[in-house]
Amino acid sequence: MHNNCYHCDLPVPPGASYQVTIDGRSREMCCPGCQAVAQAIVDNGLTDFYRYRTEKSRNPQQAFDEAKKTLSLYDRPELQKSFVTQDNENTRHASLILEGIVCAACVWLNERHVMALAGVSEFRINYSTRRATVKWDDSLVKLSDILNAITSIGYIAHPFDPGRQEQLQKKERSLAMRRLAVAGLGAMQVMMLAVAMYAGENQGMEESLKNFMRWVSLLITVPVVFYSSSIFFKSAWRDLKHKQLGMDVPVSLAIGSAFLASIQATVIAHGEIYYDSVTMFTFFLLAGRYLEMMTRHRAGQAAEELIRLLPMAATLVVDGQEEVVSAGDLRCGDCVRVRPGETIPADGIIIDGNSSVDESLMTGESVPVGRTVKSHVIGGSINIDSPLLVRVEKTGEDTVLSSIVRLLDRAQTEKPKLSRLADRVAGWFVGIILLLAGLVGWYWWQHDPTNAFRITLSVLVVTCPCALSLATPAALVAATGQLTRTGLLITRGHALETLSQADHIIFDKTGTLTYGRLQLQEVINLHCDSAQQALAIAAAVETGSEHPVARVIVESADQIPDAQQHLTTTGQGVQAVVNGKLYRVGKPDYVRELNNDPFTHTVLENDRTVIALGDGKNTLALFVMDDLVQKNAADAIKDLRGLGLSVSLLSGDRKPVVDYIAKQLGISDAHAEMLPGQKLSFIQSLQHSGQTVAMVGDGVNDAPVLAGAQVSIAMGGGTQIAHASADMVLLSGNLSHISEGVVMSRRTLSVIRQNIIWALVYNAVAMPMAAAGWVAPWMAAIGMSASSLIVVLNALRLTR
Amino acid sequence: MNILYLLIPIGIIFLGVAIGLFVWAIRSGQYDDMEGPAHRILMDDDDPKIPGNENKPEVEGNQGDER
Model pLDDT for residues A671-681, shown as the tens digit of each residue = 888 877 788 88
- Is residue A8 over pLDDT 80? no
pLDDT digits (tens, 9 = 90+) for A424-471: 666 677 778 788 888 988 998 898 887 787 788 778 777 766 666 667
- For A318-332, A366-380, A391-405, A760-774, which range has the lowest pLDDT when averaged over its residues? A391-405
Is it the case that residue A1 has pLDDT exceeding 60?
Answer: no
* pLDDT surpasses 70 at B47: no
Please give the pLDDT value at position A306.
46
Report chain B residues whose CB lies below 8 A from the CB of A212. 4-5, 8
- A765 or A518, which is more confident? A765
Task: Report the residue from B36, B59, B61 with minimal CB separation from A42.
Answer: B59
A212/B4 Cβ within 8 A: yes
- The predicted pLDDT at position A423 comes to 54
Compute the distance between CA of residue A343 and CA of residue A159 in angstroms, rounded to an integer.
16
Do residue A174 and residue B26 have CB atoms under 8 angstroms apart?
yes
Q: What is the dihedral of CA A636, A638, A641, A647, to 10 degrees?
A: 70
Identify the CA nearest to A391 among candidates A447, A331, A310.
Answer: A331
B19 CB neighbours in chain A (<8 A) are 181-182, 185
**What is the Cα–Cα distance from A87 to A94, expressed in whole angstroms?**
11
Q: What is the pLDDT of residue A650?
A: 87
Angstrom distance (rounded) from CA A748 to CA A483: 11
Q: Is residue A272 pLDDT above 70, yes or no?
A: yes
Residue A222 has pLDDT above 60, yes or no: yes
Those residues of chain A whose CB sits closer than 8 Å to some CB in chain B are 23-25, 42, 45, 47-48, 51-52, 104-105, 107-108, 112, 125-129, 170, 174, 177-178, 181-182, 185-186, 189, 192-193, 206, 209, 212-213, 216, 219-220
Q: How far is A766 from chain B (nearest CA, A)?
A: 34
Closest partner residue to A107 (CB to CB) among B19, B36, B58 is B36
Q: What percent of chain A has pLDDT over 70?
A: 82
Number of helical (H) and strand (E) elements in chain A, helices listed first: 27, 29
Alpha helices in A331-465 (DSSP H): 360-363, 400-413, 418-447, 449-462
Q: What is the mean pLDDT of chain A?
A: 78
Q: Which of A276, A347, A508, A627 is catalytic?
A: A508
A508 is catalytic: yes
Query: A193 to chain B: which residues are within 8 Å by CB?
Result: 8
**Taking CB atoms and an 8 Å cut-off, how many pairs form between chains A and B?**
91
Work out the pLDDT band at A396, boundaries 50, 70, 90.
low
Quick one: closest CA in B to A101, which residue?
Answer: B36
CA-to-CA separations, A597 to A345, A525, A592, A610, A615, in angstroms, rounded:
43, 15, 6, 16, 10
Q: What percent of chain A has pLDDT over 90?
A: 5
Q: Which of B9, B26, B64 sits opposite A177 (nearest CB)?
A: B26
Where does B1-67 have alpha helices with state H? 4-27, 36-40
Return the pLDDT at A228.
Answer: 92
The pLDDT score that the predictor gives to residue A621 is 87
User: Does the beta-carbon distance from B15 to A105 stay under 8 Å?
Assistant: no
CB pair distance less than 8 Å for A209 and B31: no
Residue in B59, B63, B65 to test binding to A, most A beta-carbons within 10 Å: B59
Confidence grade of residue A712 (pLDDT, cut at 50, 70, 90) = confident
**pLDDT at residue A473 tops 50:** yes
- B4:A181 CB<8 A: no
Distance in Å, alpha carbon of A149 to nearest chain B alpha carbon: 20
Give the closest of B9, B19, B40 to A182, CB-based: B19
Question: Per-residue pLDDT tens for A716-741?
Answer: 665 655 666 677 878 777 888 889 89
CA distance B37 to chain A (A): 9
When CB atoms are compared, the residue of A23, A127, A213 closest to B33 is A127
Beta bridge partners of A693: A504
State the greatest distance between any 2 C-alpha atoms of chain A, in Å, as a whole number.
113
Chain B environment of A25 (Cβ under 8 Å): 63-64
**In this structure, what are the phi and psi dihedrals at residue A82, rounded to the nearest 5 degrees?**
-80, -20
**pLDDT tops 60 at residue A416:** no
**Residues of B contacting chain A (CB within 8 angstroms):** 1, 4-5, 8-9, 11-12, 15, 18-19, 22-23, 26-27, 31-36, 39-40, 42-45, 47, 58-65, 67
The domains found in chain A, sorted by start residue, are: 1-161 (3.30.70.100), 168-302+417-475+749-799 (no CATH), 311-398 (2.70.150.10), 477-514+630-747 (3.40.50.1000)
What integer pLDDT is reported at residue A178 of this predicted model? 92
Cβ–Cβ gap B59/A48 under 8 Å: no
B17 has pLDDT over 90: yes
Q: Please give the Cα distance from A127 to A104 (Å, whole number).
A: 7
Res. A343: pLDDT tops 60: yes
What is the predicted ipTM? 0.71
Closest to A347 measured CA to CA, from A367, A368, A365, A333: A333
State the pLDDT at residue A140. 85
Contact A107 B12 (CB under 8 A): no
Of A51, A128, A178, the CB nearest to B33: A128
Which of A326-335, A546-555, A677-686 has maximum average pLDDT? A677-686
pLDDT digits (tens, 9 = 90+) for A636-662: 899 999 988 899 988 877 787 788 888
- Record: contact B36-A52, CB cut-off 8 A: no
Report DSSP state, residue A225.
I
* Cβ count near A361 (within 10 Å): 22
- Cβ pair B18:A23 closer than 8 A: no
Q: Angle between the B4-27 and A207-223 helix axes, to the nearest 10 degrees?
A: 10
* Cα first-last separation, chain A: 35
pLDDT of residue A557: 78
